[in-house]
Amino acid sequence: MRKLTPAVCFAFALFAAAATQASVCLVGKTDKAPLSYKCGEKIVFSLKLVNGRELPEGSRLRWRLSSDAGERRDGNESLPIDAPFKVETTMAKPGFVRLEAVVIGKDGKDILQNFADNELTPDGKRPMNRWEKGERRVFFDGGAAVEPEQLKSLPEPKDFDAFWARELARLATVPMKVRKVEAKSCTPDVKIYIVEIACAGKRPVTGELSIPTKPGKYPALLEVDGYGIYVPDPNHERGAMWRPSDKIILHINAHGFNMPEFGADAAYYEALKKELKDYAFDKKENANPETAYWNGMALRVVRALQFLEQLTAWNGKDLEVHGGSQGGLQTMWAVALDPKVSRATPYVTWCCDLASREKQGRMGGWRPEWQDALGYYDPVNMAKRVRRTQRVDIERVGLGDYIAPPSTVQVLYNNLKCPKSIKFVQGSNHGYVPPEEFREECVFTGK
């Protein structure tokens, strides 16, 4: 059941008079809650400039409207300064609509803002990631949905459960051999260890473990990474990041690469970057679920959980997995494949409903080309295995995110039969979230 509490679907002064740091913002909204439309109902988008008089003379608005129903319209308009610009559409079937808009100059190029020393985002806060640091356009990228609770996934592989039973049995044949070395901790009452845990597949589990020093039983958290190869910075002091003294945390890298503490050097990481360039996109590998790059990654996630579960300091009941993008993908593997996971908190979850672009004609995202073998790793199929004793809270879905399109994450949510929640953010793409004073969020709960 899908429930929307009006108090939870809210907008923070969407058409406020001024923006922090006097930056120019393009703020968008719909004429009603963005996920509340019915088939055939008119959807009205409104775009309004904040501090638009700061723009160069002759600035224009370039926009594109597209939808899961196949609609595509483009426009290039003179820029209204004081009145909202409106775009209308309808959809005859369930799905999502996307509106992209950007302010351009006389030369047709995107207008870029200069924030203070290029260090600040439009909301005056230090950037949290590379998207925020690099996003200097005056833009809106958002959307709306028509009866999203009706969206369904395609049939899964017939031997889905048998395949994973075999893979987990293969993992069980590998003894849990652990290497660890203590690193300096800058957090009182917390010890930091660099760990390597034997696993089935090409590489082990490797990462950083933080564990409270005071005797007791603690909840545990597994943190998993997004897409990329995040090699350790040799100048970064291990344990410098603050860690809580009331929780066990294991942060693993996605690839099981060797750690500097166990002999890895700069040459090793350079070779690794070349080897893993465009990983997970190899069509030959992805033709077979046993050779797909995700196979080893999924088994490392399960082995990392098994490691946490055998720690004497774990309280035996609270085990959370958290990650975004590719980390969201791994988070869904974790909660589906390990019944001891109590809570999963994915966000901007990558590679959901992988066949929907090719087989259902929905708007697609950046992801591997569909092959039947990828169905064994699709989070929408994993979602069906999440138990009613577990919980999944999808912490963010960007209505303008077309790396992890909102329709694909909606299908993930629809397939869950456990306690669950999902938060959609208007104007948010994969890495960018609008300034708080212009942010509209819709949260749904159900089971």
Position 238 scores a pLDDT of 67
Q: Which CATH number covers residue 248?
A: 3.40.50.1820
Provide the pLDDT for residue 11. 35
* Same-domain status, 175 and 51: no
Q: Are 190 and 211 in contact (CB under 8 A)?
A: yes
383-412 pLDDT tens trace = 999 999 999 999 999 999 999 999 999 999
Note whether 361 and 404 are same-domain residues: yes
Residue 330 lies in a domain: yes
pLDDT value for 115: 59
Tell whether 155 is covered by a domain.
no
Distance CA 145, CA 446 (A): 18
In a domain, 242, yes or no: yes
Cβ atoms 105, 137 nearer than 8 A: no
Question: Is residue 117 over pLDDT 80?
Answer: no
Closest by alpha carbon to 124, among 211, 243, 20? 20
Q: Say how many C-beta atoms besides its own lie within 10 A of residue 279's C-beta.
A: 17
On whether the CB atoms of residues 394 and 422 are closer than 8 A, the answer is yes
Residue 335, SS3 per DSSP:
helix
The last residue of a domain, from among 150, 178, 211: 150
Beta strands in 253-354 (DSSP E): 314-324, 343-347
Whether 98 contacts 363, CB under 8 Å: yes
- pLDDT higher than threshold 80 for residue 322: yes
Whether 107 and 210 map to the same domain: the answer is: no
Mean pLDDT of 10-23: 36
226 plus 329 within the same structural domain = yes
Give the gyration radius of the chain's Cα atoms: 23
How many other C-beta atoms can be found within 10 angstroms of the C-beta atom of residue 407?
26
In a domain, 142, yes or no: yes
For 327-347, what is the mean pLDDT? 98
**Residue that has been written with the tokens 């960007």 in this structure:** 398
Residues 346 and 265 in one domain: yes
If asked whether residues 333 and 403 sit together in one domain, one would say: yes
Span 121-149, mean pLDDT?
Answer: 73
pLDDT per residue over 352-371, tens digit each? Answer: 999 998 899 899 889 999 99
Where in 358-434 does DSSP place strands (E)? 391-398, 420-425
What pLDDT is stored for residue 380 in this prediction? 98
* pLDDT at residue 34, rounded to an integer: 97
Q: What pLDDT, on a 0 to 100 scale, did the predictor assign at position 21?
A: 40
pLDDT of 424 strictly over 60:
yes
pLDDT tens by residue, 194-238 = 999 999 999 999 999 999 999 999 999 999 999 999 887 655 566
Same domain, yes or no: 268 and 173: yes
* pTM over the 0.95 mark: no
Residues 170 and 318 in one domain: yes
- Give residue 120's pLDDT: 46
Element (H, E) at 45: strand 43-50
Whether 77 contacts 85, CB under 8 Å: yes
What total of structural domains would you count in the chain? 2
pLDDT of 441 > 70? The answer is: yes
Give me the CATH number covering residue 117. Answer: 2.60.40.2550
DSSP SS3 for 268: helix
- pLDDT of 333 above 80: yes
Q: What is the span of the domain harbouring residue 129?
A: 3-150
| DSSP helix/strand/coil, 76 | strand
User: Does any domain span residue 257?
Assistant: yes
In this structure, what are the phi and psi dihedrals at residue 206, rounded to the nearest 5 degrees?
A: -135, 150
Residue from 214, 197, 208, 257 nearest 237 by CA: 208
Whether residue 185 is found in the same domain as residue 332: yes
Q: Would 136 be classed as within a structural domain?
A: yes
- Say which residue the tokens 């260890």 belong to: 193
Per the document, the length of the chain is 447
Burial 112-135 (b: 16+ CB within 10 A, else e): ebebeeeebbbbeeebeeeebbeb
Identity of the residue numbered 312: T
Separation between Cα atoms, residue 361 and residue 95, nearest integer Å: 11
Does 315 fall in a domain?
Answer: yes
Among 130, 150, 170, give the residue marking a domain's end: 150
Per-residue pLDDT at 10: 32
275 with 126, same domain?
Answer: no
Mean predicted lDDT score pLDDT of the chain: 89
In this predicted model, what pLDDT tens digit does every residue of 241-288 receive, in sequence order?
788 999 999 999 999 999 999 999 989 999 999 999 999 999 999 999
Q: Which DSSP symbol is given to 37?
A: B
Assigned domain for 139 exists? yes
Shared-domain flag, residues 220 and 326: yes
User: Is residue 223 helix, strand or coil?
Assistant: strand
Q: What is the mean pLDDT of the segment spanning 164-178?
A: 98
How far is it, in rounded angstroms, from Cα 276 to Cα 282?
11
Residues 184 and 121 in one domain: no
Element counts in the chain: helices (H) and strands (E): 8, 19
Picking from 132, 150, 168, the residue at the C-terminal end of a domain is 150
